[in-house]
Each structure stands twice: as C-alpha cells, then as structure tokens.
Structure 1
Amino acid sequence: MSTFKELLDEQSISQTWIAKKLGFSPATINKIVKYGDYPKKNAAQLKQQIIELLVTKGFNQDQILTAMDAVQLNSENDQASDVERTATPTDQKEQLMLLRKQTLTPAAKKQFMLFKNIFTEDIRNAAELYNNSDINYVRESMWQAAKGNTSFIAVVGQSGSGKTTLREELHDRIERENEPVIIIEPYVLATEDSDTKGKTLKSLHIAEAILSALAPSTNAKRSPEARFRQIHNLLKESSRAGQHHLLIIEEAHSLPIPTLKHLKRFIELKNGFTPLMSIILIGQDELKIKLAENNPEVREVVQRCEIVTLEPFTQTALVEYLQHRCNTAGRNLSDFIDESGIDAICAKLTRNVGRNNQSESLLYPLAVGNLITGALNVAAELGEKVVTGDLVKEV
C-alpha cells in the first residue's frame, strides 16, 4: 500500500470523495494516490487542489507533500526496474496481454451481491450456454459428426474460447436426445507431439480406447494386426446393433504427425457402405498449422478434415454474451458495467497488428470473464457502483 493511501485511510478519507469534490474520475484519483501518476494537463494545479482539499480536513501540508513525494519516488523506481527487465529485445509488445485467473474479492462480492462469479463460472446446464450464429455453426458441426452425417472435423480455437464447453454440451445433448452414439475419448493428460516432451498418442492407444468403450471386459489381442482386426469386428457388431461411434480427441494440437495420418484409416473403417466412426479433433491454433494445405505430410488428412474455427466475439456478440450470463443468474448487465466499460473491454482485448493492420482479438469468454472480474474488484475498492471505461483501464 502506498504512503499516500495509508495517510488517507488513517483519516477515513475515500478516493471517491476526493474525486467528487474535485470533479475527476475515481480512476484518475486512484492513479495519483497509488502511483503518483498525474494527468499530463494541469498536473501541478490538480496536485495543489488535492493538498488544499485535504488541509480543510485537518491534514498538515508538509505531511501531505511527504506522502505524495514518497509515492512518486517509488513509482519512478518501479519504472526504472521495468526498463532494466525489458532492455533485451523481445516480441512481447506485439502480443495482447492476458490476465491471470481473477477471483472476486469479498468487497466486490458484497457490493455487487455476487455469491458466485457469473462471468467466469462453468455452465451447469444447456440453458446457460450462450449461442450465436458463429457458435451455433460449430455446435451443429459437432452434432452432425456425432450422428455420423460428417466423418471428420477439427474444432480450432484460442485458449478460453469455449471448445471444452461445447464438447461438454455435446455429451449432454447426446444424452438428452437419446442419440445412439458411443463416445470414445482417449486420455490425453500427458500427451505431447514428441516423446522428448511427454508421451505421444499413438494409433495403438486409440485402439485401446475403442476396445475399452465397446467391450471393457475383453482382453486385447497381442499382435497389432490381430488387435486392429478385433477392433474392426467390434465396431461392426456395435453398428449392426444401431450404434454410431464418435472419437473425440482433446488437445489435438499435441498429436504427432504420424497419428494424424493414421486417423484417415480409422474413418475409412466401414461395414459395407456404412461408416463405423466419426472423428472430432479439438485443439488450439497450432492444430490448424499442422493441418495446413501446404503440409505434404498430412495431405491425405487435409483433404478429408473440415476445420471449424471458434471466432472471437464482436462487440455486439460480447454485449449479448454478458447479458446472457447475467440473465441466467436473474441479474441485469447494467448492474455491473456501463457502455463505456464494454467499449474499454473491446479496446483492451483487440488491436491491429502487422503491416496490414490485421485485427487481433482475444474477445473470448475466459479472457473477458477475467477482465471484468478484475474491473469489479477495482470498482469495489473505489466504491464505484458500476464498472466504467476508466476502471477497465486500471486492471
């Protein structure tokens, strides 16, 4: 805590009170109190106004100046340290910065009457799932694969874009609609794309997952040839019983190239003309790179695999998403954030990069949830009723 803030707290003087008296935003006063960061215009005049206001509340002028100078000195030292740490060349400036996991403070929970964080909590049922045209396209693509109408898709999206949520919704939908689908999910807890980093997921492991899903009490044949024949026969028997089979591989960006190539052979397993299996790969943008058209190693896979991308929110979709999260909790979005706050979130998580000014956006559920949580904490600290654009910039 800064010396200046400690001084104000001793006399129970709030930053919000100072802001209202001087006609400035609480965020501006917070920057001055915490970091000695004054607006470029009329900084000396504002500093004098703060001093005069605090003198009327019984503060000693020398005491105020000492506290202000200490804050400014600490801030300058911190900036110097930052310059030293970033002296080596780096490309971090070219990337949008993401927040760590944010947790609501007790003060924020109390002020906004939130007993759970509606902006970051996992959804509990299908009604809580936000749907727009982009998300619905991905969702329906996964559903068609589950029903066997599509054989091979790759769902690609940034971290926190909602891929896992859609996979969970697919599980739930299959159960709700009693669709005759057997889901096969190999465990990928320690998989990497090379054995030097972790353990690679191989075709034999996928075969073991199929055997475990279809006939858990059956022992696998020892030789690979016999084992794959055993798997094919089990799939045929299950298909004759009216079942379709869906192989879902999470973290598919960690799949080695040989395994990606072998997946073609799994989707070619048939009983006559009837396909026995569909495949959904779920991964981050690196998966799209591995499945690029100019990669000759996976050309057979590329020609058969449809890539479906989870796009970031537009500003309109962002507002709809946040309203939906609030509505599912019986609240209004205006209880938490105003229009300037929404604009600031879009600005903070979007920017143009490169020579062609291509838009780079991280307006995904997880990033948005963390940012708005941090802003709610700042609002509670300053005693603000809702999050504004100035408060979002403070996070």
Structure 2
Amino acid sequence: MMTLKALLAQCNLVQAHVARELGISAGTFADIVNHDKWPVKNHSDLKNKLGDLLMHAGATTQQIVCALSPAPTTDVNTAKKQKAQATTLEPFETTFKNVPKTTRHANDALTLKESTDMLLRKQTITQAARKSFNLFRDPFLDDVNEAADVYLSNDIRYVRESMWAVAKHGGMLAVVGESGAGKTTLRRDLIDRIARENANVIVVEPYVLAMEENDMKGKTLKSANIADAIIHAINPLINVKRSSEARFRQLHKLLIDSNRSGNKHLLIIEEAHCLPTATLKHLKRFFELEDGFKKLLGIVLVGQPELRLKLSEKNAEVREVVQRCEIAELSPLDNQLADYLDFKLRRVGSELDKVFDKGAVDAIRAKLTFNQSASRGLRGEGHQVSLLYPLAVANLVSAAINSAVEIGAPLVSADIVKEI
C-alpha cells in the first residue's frame, strides 16, 4: 500500500508548501505524514482538502484513499479509532471518483482564486485616508454612474463593441470573465447606450435570482421561462398561452410583428454559467427564429469561466450552439494597471503620482499574480495566473491607501503593498 509520504514524492509536492495550503504548521503536517497523527479538530475537512490537493497534483482516487487510510493494527481500541477515521474518506471518494481529470485541471485557476479569496475581502477607503490624499469620494465605491466612468482598455473596448454589434445586428455572444472582471458593468453600459442613442432595441432580461444549473441546487432557467420573459418584454399586458406550442407560436408572432414595426430584440442572460445544458441547447432554437432572412433575436450570455467550459467544442451536447456563438473574454488588467488606476483617480479629481510612488504599481501587479505550480506546492515551473481584475485591484489598493495613512506615509509604496 502506498504511503502518504510516497504519494507526496510521486506528485512532486513539497511538505512545507502543502502544510501552508492546508493552513496548518509544518510540524503538524510532519506528524500526519510520518506518524499518521491527525489533529482532532476539523479532522474530516483536513483529509478532504488534502485529498483534493493530491487529486489536482495528478494522484488517482485509489492512491489517495490508500495513502490517507490508517495502517492496519491488531490493537482493538486503535482499530475502532481507525475505522471511524476511515469513514471520513467516503465523502471524498464518492465526490471525486467520477470527476474527469481534464475537468479538474481546467478548474485549477478557479480553485486558486477561491483559495486566495481574491486576496482581500471587500475594502473601502476610510474617511481619514480620503482626507489625507484629497480624495473627495472613493474612486472604487459606486464608481460607475455614467458612460464616462467606464474604463476602456483595448480588450474591454472590443468586448463592449461586440455586445453593441449583437444588439444592433443580431448574433450570439458569450461574455466570459472572472468574478469582479467588469461583466455587469458592461451589461449596464450596453443598456444605457441603447437608451442614450435611442436605438430601437427591446432588451429582454430573464430574472436569474436563485438560478442554479440543476433543480437540486435551486431553480433552473428553462426555455419556457425565457419565452415568458420575451413575451412580457414585447407586450407586458398580453395573456400568455398555457400550452407550450401555443406559447411559442405566440412568441414568434410577437417577434415578427415587433420587428416589422422597426424594433430589434436582445436577450441578455446573466450568470449564464449556471444555465443547464438543456437550456443552452434550446438557445439555438431561439436564435433561429426569423422573419424571412431576418433573425429576430440577438443573444448575449454573461458568465464566469465555467461558461467557457460548457461551450467547449468538445461538449457534443451543445455543439450546435458552440458553432453559432462567439466567445469574448475579459482579460486581467496586467499591462493596463497603471492606466486603469490613473483613470479611476482622475475621475475623482486626483492623479496616480499623488497617491502611489513609482514602485507601488509593480508591487500591486506582483501581489495579484501567482505561479500556478508554486501555489500548489509543485516543483518546477508553472504558468502565471493573474487576478488583476477591477474588484481585486480595488480591494488591494483600498487597503494599501488605508495602511499608508495609518503609518503616516505620504504615498503608497511597494513595501506597504507587500505588507497587505
């Protein structure tokens, strides 16, 4: 039977790094590895976290279960304890034995992001800090109130214009980005732009409150719900037909009549990564509703990176949707970080060099960039994972500004950022 120590070596996992990932001391983890002595508190959670870590490093479920199972003993009392401990592995084995390895590694970046918790929880600049830096309002709090407040890098501008093109000319677009990347801001900007430019576009937004990808977790968004939303957006006073066939005939006729009156129609679905596969497949049928050569409905899906996985070309169930859907991804700010911070500060009457010294921006970039392998205790080179999205940047910068004022520093320096 493979020991835990041998499995760690096989997976190229460094014990000190694994201990840090588990949130325990190196000594405690050494007791686990060498003597099978587990902490009494959170024993089950710790085993499952370690199992998850080993799984991501390439170990099989069978190897993990064997390595984390206590060694056999002839002592009756010890045997009873071991039997109780062994049951803690059952949830892990049940949960992960059917998870494809490719899916686990595709979600590595998300797991990393969750483990760092975007480095900081929600932060706001204190009143004392705003006074000290002459910031009459927080540049990151309720900061987008008009189109001029939307920061546009080349990448963001491409996504913005792609959304506008679907609203004006039809098509199907999936906007993908991490939490805090600015997806909701672009959706709000699109709706504001439609009103601002007096475009004859009827926007349909089905309610996605409590929406989940299966009915065990919550309420799924079905094609019937989408049909109801479209009907009520075009004619709020109409009585919706009860039978499915009659309802969809009613929907098609309303779209045709509205289109012939000069209107275009745009369906926007937020949290689209929670859409069940069946609903994704049905979107093709909505997209193909037409009047002669005219498509009647443009579709914009907005979701987190799981949406890209669902729309993979390897997913045979939704291949007809994938062939018709463009994916536009919101990238991290990375090289635009200094420009982004200067833009946000200028919107509140300040400038970058009035708040940060020359090395601070590079320190922010380094703080929010991780090496995938190093973060998991793997030896060798890994790939870089960037969390330089507006929400994470705002949290880190706000905390750094507050810290600078607390210690009496005139500007936010690299050292202050490193200490956050």
TM-score (norm 1): 0.76
For residue 363 of structure 2, the aligned residue among 321, 337, 344 is 344
CA deviation string 1:266-298 (max 9, x = no partner): 010000111000000000000000001101111
* 1:128 aligned residue: 149
1:176 is displaced (CA, Å) by: 1.1
Partner of 2:349: 330
Provide structure 1 residue ranges, at least 5 long, that are not aligned to the other structure: 1-77
User: Residues 164 and 272 (structure 1 numbering): CA distance in 2 closer, same or farther, change over 3 Å?
Assistant: same
Q: Check whether the contact 1:160–1:364 (CA below 8 A) recurs between aligned residues.
A: yes
Residue aligning to 1:162: 182
Q: Is the 8 A contact 1:207 1:228 kept in 2?
A: yes
Does residue 220 in structure 1 map to residue 240 in structure 2? yes
On the 8 A contact 2:126/2:402 being kept in 1, the answer is yes
Give the CA deviation at 1:87: 6.6
Partner of 1:318: 337
- Structure-2-length-normalised TM-score: 0.72
User: 2: distance between equivalents of 1:128 and 1:232?
Assistant: 38
Residue 347 of structure 2 aligns to which amino acid in structure 1?
A: T
> Which of the two has higher C-alpha Rg?
1
CA contact (8 A) 1:120 1:366 kept: no
Secondary structure at 2:266's aligned position in 1?
strand
Which sections of structure 2, spanning at least 5 residues, go unmatched?
1-23, 30-38, 54-110, 374-379
Q: Secondary structure at the match of 2:359?
A: helix
Please give the secondary structure, in 2, of the residue aligned with 1:282. strand
Which aligned pairs between 1:191-340 and structure 2 lie closer than 5 A? 191-315=211-335, 317-340=336-359
Instruction: Give the aligned partner of residue 15 of structure 1.
Output: none
Q: Distance in 2 between matches of 1:167 and 1:82?
A: 48
- Paired residues of 1:378 and 1:394 also in contact (CA < 8 A): no
What is the deviation of 1:394? 1.4
Cα distance, 1:81 vs. partner? 11
Q: Secondary structure at the match of 1:339?
A: coil
The 8 Å contact of residues 267 and 299 in structure 2, kept in 1 or not, is answered as yes
- The residue aligned with 2:83 is none
Distance 1:228 1:205 in 2: 11
Is 1:358 the counterpart of 2:383? The answer is yes
Choose from 133, 145, 151 the match for 1:112: 133
Deviation (angstroms), 1:105: 2.5
The Cα of 1:391 is off from its aligned counterpart by: 0.5
2:162 maps to which residue? 141
Q: Secondary structure at the match of 1:235?
A: helix
Query: What letter corresponds to residue 165 of structure 2 in structure 1?
Result: Q
Letter in 2 for 1:319: A
Task: Sort the Cα spacing of 1:81 and 1:206 in 2 relative to 1 into closer, same or farther, 3 A.
Answer: farther
Instruction: Give how far 1:353 is off.
Output: 1.9
2:399 to 341, 363, 374: 374
The one-character-per-residue Cα deviations of 1:130-152 (angstroms, maximum 9, x if unpaired) are 1121011100100000002x410
CA-based RMSD = 2.1
CA displacement at 1:390 relative to structure 2: 0.7
Structure 2 distance, partners of 1:256, 1:107, is 48
Give the direction of change, closer, same or farther, for the CA distance of 1:312–1:93 in structure 2 (3 Å limit): closer
